[in-house]
Amino acid sequence: MSVWDLSTRENWELILSERRVAQRIPNSSSAQYEYKYIPISPIYTNPNSHTLLVGTYSETALPYWFLGARASQYLYVSPSDDYRFISGVQASDIKRVGLNRLTLIKFEDYGVLPYVLQLEIPYWLEDIYVEVWEYQDIITTEIEQKLLDIESILSEVTADLEDIKRRLN
DSSP letters spanning 48-104: S-SEEEEEEE-SSS-TT--EEEEEEEEEE------TTS-SEEE-SPPEEEETTEEEE
* pLDDT score, position 77: 81
* pLDDT score, position 1: 44
User: Phi and psi (nearest 5°) for 26?
Assistant: -60, 135
pLDDT tens, 44-94?
A: 999 999 999 999 999 999 999 999 999 999 998 877 777 776 677 888 789
Would you say residue 11 has pLDDT above 60?
yes
Would you say residue 33 has pLDDT above 80?
no
Sort 121 into a burial class: Cβ within 10 Å, 0-12 / 13-18 / 19+.
Answer: buried
pLDDT tens, 120-129?
A: 999 999 999 9
Q: Read off the pTM.
A: 0.74
Q: What is the mean pLDDT of the chain?
A: 87
CATH code of 9-138, in short, is 2.60.120
Residue 11 contacts by C-beta under 8 Å, 6 or more apart in sequence? 5, 135, 136, 137
Sort 97 into a burial class: Cβ within 10 Å, 0-12 / 13-18 / 19+.
Answer: buried
Contact 115, 91 (CB under 8 A): yes
Cβ of 22: how many Cβ atoms within 10 Å?
A: 20
Would you say residue 31 has pLDDT above 70?
no
3-state secondary structure of 138: coil
**What residue spans define the domains of the chain?**
9-138, 139-169
Average pLDDT over residues 155-168: 89
Would you say residue 21 has pLDDT above 60?
yes
Beta bridge partners of 124: none
**Cα 121 to chain center, whole Å?**
15
* pLDDT score, position 117: 96
Contact 51, 134 (CB under 8 A): yes
- Nearest by Cα to 119 from 76, 73, 62: 73
> What is the spatial distance between Cα 6 and Cα 28, in angstroms, rounded to a whole number?
50
